[in-house]
Amino acid sequence: MARVNEYTRILDETLSKAQKLANDDGALSAHTALLSLVHPLKTKRDGEEELGESVAEGIETIIGNLGQNKYLFSILATCLVEKLVNPGQDTRLHQADMPGGYSNRSKDQIHVTPFLKQHGLTHCAASGMESGRNFERPFPLALDFGGKPRGKGNREASLGILHAIEMEGVDPSPCLEFLLALDMKSLQTPDYDYPEPEGLTVQELMAAIIRHHDSAKGQGKSRLPVLAIQAVYQCLVAELARYTAVEAQLRNPPNRHTANDKKGFIGDVQVDLPNGTPFEGVEVKSGKKIDKAMVGDLPGKFKGIPVNRYYVLSTATEYIAESERENIEKTVDRVRRETGCQIIVNSLYPSLQYYLRLVSDTGQFLANYTNQVETDKDVKAPHKAIWRDILTELSAPQDRSTK
């Protein structure tokens, strides 16, 4: 039985090598030429084995799809670490009650995920198997395993890599080094120099915000409207008597989409009383029309807490279907009578524009939003670049006399 610190030793050594690879493109390219990484992966289609991409390309596939499958990253990393600690273990036998098996979930939870968290690498909340339940099935992770993770090529890549290691003698060490190195590179975001345009009108601010949200693509796009509401609340809570009179405190950062309704959150943006109980919440629906169920579910979300006010805001152009309006209004009234909470259902951008008219210094809102974009964990590098470019345009000398 391996000593507990053997896992830490291997992870530390691998991390050191991976850091050097991540910081040297030439070394990383040379690493991909190692025999273990050029080894072709096998896949199984219609019961027949076929040769596919290389081990290196398989790892690149998994890293390229991290937004959809970070649990596979964690599961694979745990398999590779376990193989290095216990070379005789078939890591495809991922549950302890399988003959000759081990617990990938436990090894990940005890050794791998804490290490990944400590070093700022991609990680799950507790373990990959816990987050990716469709892979936690009582069957070996062989080529014919039936799990269907999201992301093109993820299933074939992960199962092919494990097959190559267990059945074809591929060395797990270069694979783990490459996996961590690519993860580090994916997490490296360039430092953006955000200009600070001055004297913008509310209309100019709104146009910039909407342009940013419309231009953004892919994962993280839906986070941006939340950050805009968070930024304006940073101004409102500090200024308006509604909040200062009760010494209300805005939670910052806002609730992450990966942890909805956890850690005391009742919405995406939340203002608490000094004792930590929710005073006001905002729920943002990105591109979705508000329906009766979204409002009807609120009493269960409040769990008996006397929330003062709650907003449900949608970025959809038509934020409520006209056919649903009467039912939603009736549900809003019912929830208010049941909970005592005032429910406001509205379109997000007109609400934001109204809030900005209440703010004494809209420049502070702009600074708040830029800071939220720059520091938020779910905002991707392309979204940051788009915002930088918008600010650069707004900072350029121009004639606003016609505006």
Q: State pLDDT tens for residues 285-315.
A: 999 999 999 999 999 999 999 999 999 999 9
Residue 29 included in any domain? yes
Q: Across residues 162-189, what is the average pLDDT?
A: 91
Residue 92 predicted with pLDDT over 50: yes
Q: What is the pLDDT of residue 232?
A: 98
Let me know whether 360 and 245 are in one domain.
Answer: yes
Q: Across residues 138-158, what is the average pLDDT?
A: 82
**Contact predicate 129/136, CB 8 Å:** yes
Residue 403 included in any domain? no
Q: What is the pLDDT of residue 401?
A: 45
Q: Between 199 and 144, where is the model more confident?
A: 199
Q: What is the pLDDT of residue 263?
A: 67
Overall pTM > 0.75: no
Let me know whether 287 and 312 are in one domain.
Answer: yes
Q: What is the pLDDT of residue 154?
A: 82
Residues with Cβ within 8 Å of residue 56, at least 6 apart in sequence: 32, 37, 38, 178
Give how far Cα 280 sits from Cα of 119, 149, 243, 302, Å: 35, 37, 10, 11
Element (H, E) at 345: strand 342-347
Let me know whether 313 and 342 are in one domain.
Answer: yes
Let me know whether 317 and 372 are in one domain.
Answer: yes
Let me know whether 104 and 210 are in one domain.
Answer: no
pLDDT tens-place string over residues 261-270: 456 899 999 9
Looking at 151, 186, 221, the residue that finishes a domain is 186
**Contact predicate 53/41, CB 8 Å:** yes
Rounded to 10 degrees, the C-alpha dihedral 388/393/397/403 comes to -120
> Is the bond into 253 cis (omega within 30 degrees of 0)?
yes
Residue 191 included in any domain? no
Let me know whether 62 and 165 are in one domain.
Answer: yes
The model's confidence at residue 220, banded by pLDDT at 50, 70 and 90, is: confident
pLDDT tens-place string over residues 345-365: 999 999 999 999 999 999 999
Q: What is the pLDDT of residue 49?
A: 67
Let me know whether 152 and 211 are in one domain.
Answer: no
Q: Count of domains in the chain?
A: 2
Let me know whether 38 and 149 are in one domain.
Answer: yes
Let me know whether 181 and 226 are in one domain.
Answer: no
Let me know whether 146 and 206 are in one domain.
Answer: no
How far apart, in whole angstroms, are the C-alpha atoms of residue 258 and residue 72?
16
Range list of H helices, 32-168: 35-38, 55-64, 66-85, 104-107, 113-118, 128-131, 154-168
Residue 400 included in any domain? no
Residue 379 predicted with pLDDT over 90: no
**Contact predicate 204/44, CB 8 Å:** no
Question: What integer best gives the mean pLDDT of the chain?
Answer: 89
The model's confidence at residue 258, banded by pLDDT at 50, 70 and 90, is: low
In a 13 Å sphere around the CA of 273, the CA atoms on its Cβ side amount to 10
Residue 265 included in any domain? yes
Residue 77 included in any domain? yes
For the record, the structure tokens of 114 come out as 């804490």
Residue 240 included in any domain? yes
Q: Between 215 and 130, where is the model more confident?
A: 215
Q: Between 380 and 77, where is the model more confident?
A: 77
Residue 207 included in any domain? yes
SS3 content of the chain, % helix, strand, coil (to 5): 55, 10, 35
pLDDT tens-place string over residues 5-19: 899 999 999 999 999
Nearest CA to 224 out of 122, 374, 351 is that of: 374
Q: Which neighbouring-strand residues pair with 271? A: 250, 280
Q: Between 279 and 184, where is the model more confident?
A: 279
- List the domain range (segments joined by +) for residue 151: 4-186
Of all residues in the chain, what percent carry a pLDDT higher than 70?
A: 93
The model's confidence at residue 260, banded by pLDDT at 50, 70 and 90, is: very low
The number of angstroms, rounded, from the C-alpha of 147 to the middle of its chain's C-alpha atoms is 22
Let me know whether 182 and 207 are in one domain.
Answer: no
Let me know whether 181 and 206 are in one domain.
Answer: no
